[in-house]
Amino acid sequence: MTQLTTAPGNLPILPVTPHGDMKTFVDIASASSFLPRLQLFTSNSTACKSGKFPINHYGLVRGKDQIEDLGTEIYCLPMSYRYKAMNTTSDPIITVFDPHSELFIDLKAKADIPDSGCVYGVEFLVWLADRETFATLYLASKSARQEAQNVLALLNKPMKLGSKFIEKKKFSWQAPVAFSSPLEITPPPINEALEAGQRFLSEKPSEVQMAPTDDARVR
């Protein structure tokens, strides 16, 4: 018979399953079968406006109300990329990956129209070694798209993500910025990397139901 100890309040501490670790728990308990999203939350983000998340911190989004605070700087390994355009105001959300398709071109043309809900850009698959998880990084605003080339140059190399302050005549905001990382990043197991890469690139258009990407604006 298993010996039980007691916790505060005289509650017993029961044994837990020996099968798997916390990564196994997160994988099985996740509400979504899709990859979590890595996002820089700025002052325009709904979560920041409501006081639920700190401004200019990166968050790992697993669901609409499931955001893990990763801090102002993170280290990751970009491993793959795809093109992506979305209409975030449609129900269901429209998602397309072929940059030569008529729908992608149409969404791209509408992206600069204020409040159109349309965005486009490059989405990267990144490995977060300290969280032992893959995530997507969608660079879909004007300033974020300009940083995509720097992320591409660091493909399969350690990368540091931070933010930079941009100021124009009428507006100012924070945008993601990528640097070569001085720290080594432990790569994922090969089988997990191949599985995540296939999952990332085989996703079908308009199949994803995402939490609102309220930072993907035209600036």
Tokens at 211, concatenated? 């939490």
- Provide the 3-class DSSP secondary structure of residue 196: helix
pLDDT attached to residue 12: 72
CA nearest neighbour of 61 among 138, 129, 119 = 138
The mean pLDDT value of the chain amounts to: 85
Q: Does the N-terminal peptide bond of residue 92 adopt cis geometry, omega within 30 degrees of 0?
A: yes
pTM summary value = 0.80
Query: Residues 121-146: pLDDT tens digits?
Result: 999 999 999 999 999 999 999 999 99
Q: What is the pLDDT of residues 201-210, one digit of tens each?
A: 998 887 444 4
Under DSSP, the state recorded for 31 is: S
Q: How far is residue 132's CA from residue 25's CA, in Å, rounded to a whole number?
A: 12
Domain boundaries, the chain: 75-201
CA distance 42 to 64: 16
Q: Quick: pLDDT tens for 145-197.
A: 999 999 999 999 999 999 998 888 777 888 999 999 989 999 999 999 999 99
Strands (E) located in the chain: 5-7, 11-13, 37-41, 57-63, 66-71, 74-87, 94-96, 118-128, 133-139, 159-167, 172-180
Higher pLDDT residue, 1 or 76?
76
Sign of CA dihedral 96, 100, 102, 104: positive
